[in-house]
Structure 1
């Protein structure tokens, strides 16, 4: 087993992050496997070195150890964009000049309770030669799925909510995913799910352990894996840690930040107990 914890250094770790990191770490160690730490910091405006330093400090305080050096996506943005060239040659990419706000939202990791807006195809059909500075690159999902006819677009899930083998439904993907943004020219930013797919392959990740709010986003990663000839790991989407109202914890919940618990005298064992881990 090779797995990873991949936070975005845009704020402090909270109890939900701690649960995900501890679970991935413990599963890897129990299997005699490898646990890696990756910083998903492609958003250079929001990701800060001080947040990364605090994340590393919190994880070490929790008693977690990782193998090898920390991988930082910000060091690899150029390689992500270069690896898009084969898709352009296959005719499954097109430039998009829609608003920056819309495109930036599309590049972010999905959030529970925030619906994914399916792109209406305004720029679909534009040739790559028409790309201008500031344009994004979108995946023409229908063409991509046509190119993958005959591929086994499926993945194995071991999480408690959706165990078993899941096949990507073509019509559902067109209806609910649509033509996603993969990168934006001139700003050196790439989509969360694209960078993650490349990194999982490059780091030989065998098991992706993450929150169940990302389960519905897995099909687009499977599609990209097949387009680029990458392996598909096993997925394990775990339960989310929620507040007393049932809402998923977010980085704005600073009162539940690991830093706060440390300052209040909690121990790593207390944190494990709070998230329901031995």
Structure 2
């Protein structure tokens, strides 16, 4: 196996896996294996208040029941706080990050773009959120499916939080550090994270990391436009439905599984997916309505 290419799947244990998660897992798995690369599983468990009891074990059991095999041990972000904090402490000393005491109410009029109130206030980091200073520059990349995407960090994003006031580390920081430490080269994920990528490119630059290639597959949404997730319309995956759900996920991704896979085992379906993976066949849109997939 050519381990020079590495992909990953990183579920958040706020609940059990649903069909939307399966589509993301299948896309990242097939893309990594199609390149002869490694596929890693990482548990993004850095927000304990939102974590469902038993979800981490249940997610891994479901992946196993659906035939997924990953390389190496599962990485748990909850065990990496010291790593994240060391990076933040370094940036605080360099003046690249600073403490922010602004309330959500005070920031409501600014439509999510931080106005810089605390940039030069010199607040203590204790009991405060930590923000990263962003440059007045545009950061962009060429997505393998969505094409060119860019943002101006100063005017469209603003200084963003890398550690919350309650001491929990932000997704943007943790995911970039982990991808770098795990030498992830290819990121396949939902298109709802497209807007996060310019911030992550900047973080990679600060950390001296190479930027991975990106492939943002369509996000599955309910007919009312909400993300496919925990609702009566999106039941948790069950082992008994592994074959039918895997085939449905392949069709959702524009792949064309043959009729003989209707009686195949989950692992055989995944082997077919990896050997026949076609990025060109993926729907080149950012969202797909659940109703169109039934």
Q: TM-score scaled to structure 2, two decimals?
A: 0.76
In the alignment, structure 1 residue 195 sits paired with structure 2 residue 174: yes
Relative distance call for 1:183 and 1:230 in structure 2 (3 A) is same
CA contact (8 A) 1:12 1:254 kept: no
Counterpart mapping for 1:50-129 below 5 A: 50-99=54-103, 117-127=112-122
Q: Aligned equivalents of 1:82 and 1:101: distance in 2?
A: 30
Q: Secondary structure at the match of 2:50?
A: coil
Q: Which runs of 5+ in 2 are unaligned?
A: 258-294
- Alpha-carbon distance, 1:122 to partner: 2.1
- Alpha-carbon distance, 1:235 to partner: 0.7
Aligned to 1:270: 244
C-alpha distance after superposition, 1:228-250 (max 9, x if no partner):
11121001100122334454302
Q: Which runs of 5+ in 1 are unaligned?
A: 104-114, 147-151
Aligned to 1:210: 189
CA contact (8 A) 1:96 1:137 kept: yes
C-alpha distance after superposition, 1:83-118 (max 9, x if no partner):
123322332211111237999xxxxxxxxxxx9711
Rg comparison, structure with higher value: 2
Aligned to 1:253: 231
Tell me the matched-pair count. Answer: 246
Q: TM-score scaled to structure 1, two decimals?
A: 0.80
Relative distance call for 1:116 and 1:5 in structure 2 (3 A) is farther
Relative distance call for 1:2 and 1:132 in structure 2 (3 A) is closer
C-alpha distance after superposition, 1:8-34 (max 9, x if no partner):
101111111000001111111121110
CA contact (8 A) 2:32 2:186 kept: no
Instruction: Give the 4+ runs in structure 1 shifted more than 4 A.
Output: 100-103
Q: Secondary structure at the match of 1:141?
A: coil
Q: Secondary structure at the match of 2:46?
A: coil
CA contact (8 A) 1:12 1:257 kept: no
CA contact (8 A) 2:114 2:159 kept: yes
CA contact (8 A) 1:5 1:37 kept: yes
In the alignment, structure 1 residue 134 sits paired with structure 2 residue 127: yes
Backbone CA RMSD of aligned residues: 2.5
Aligned to 1:18: 22
Aligned to 1:230: 209
